[in-house]
Amino acid sequence: MTSFTGSPRLLKAGIVIMQPDNGSVIRVISLQYNPDTLNRSFQIQSYDEGGDRSEALRLKSSPVETIKLEAEIDATDQLEFPDQNPDTVRNGIHTQLAVLESMLYPSSEALQENYQQAGRGVLEIVPMEAPLSLFVWSRHRAVPVRVTEFSVTEEAFDPSLNPIRARISLGLRVLSINDLGFDHRGGSLFMSYLKNKEALAGMVGNATLNRLGLEGL
């Protein structure tokens, strides 16, 4: 009997946390369930209307792309087998929430270091640089992002008030070379994303003017 089920392997959407300087992977966060909907919007970076007419078709930079999605975390299945999931029994989904929420905070180590520098009389303390976040939604969409919105709705709790089911609303802003520069690891990842988009667009054949009801221009 073959073990082949005929079903394709389901890829997971997620976020890769990387070192901003050398691109080494710190952590891979896989969403438990792929969201049913992904909302994307683009703010076009063109010159303002009313300016020089010779600039009307010029683009100042890449559009500002934003992504919004809702993810679900549910510990119900794990709680059915408490012997196999002792951590879930003790903490519910606190651990999964903590992993996602940690993207929003500077590390405690960095905060402590800044405090100690201030105590030593350092006049100018460089703002803390967060790790680079890469949002991955299939091999065609892996883009550097910054979290702009994050909210959690906890919907169910165990007897110890540990959350066992939650919905997370996540807003992301794609970081382009205008944000990071060409030499930054995130900048090169954005360029790969853009080149892949251009390659996909090149696979679509051109329609004819006749298809649009035109004989010529």
**Both structure tokens of 106:** 């500077």
Interval 165-178 mean pLDDT: 96
pLDDT tens-digit series, residues 23-59: 899 999 999 999 999 999 999 887 765 566 667 778 8
Sheet holding 64-74, edge to edge: 25-30, 14-18, 132-136, 142-157, 163-174, 64-74, 38-43
Length of the chain: 217
What's the pLDDT at 2? 52
Instruction: Note the pTM of the prediction, 2 decimals.
Output: 0.84
Task: List the chain domain ranges.
Answer: 24-48+57-196
**Both structure tokens of 181:** 């520069």
CB atoms near residue 88 (< 10 Å): 22
Average pLDDT along the chain: 88
Task: Give the three-state DSSP class for 210.
Answer: helix
Pick from 207, 140, 142: which is nearest to 174 by CA? 142
pLDDT tens-digit series, residues 187-203: 999 999 999 999 999 99
Place of tokens 């520098």: 117
**Is 74:32 a contact under the CB 8 Å cutoff?**
yes
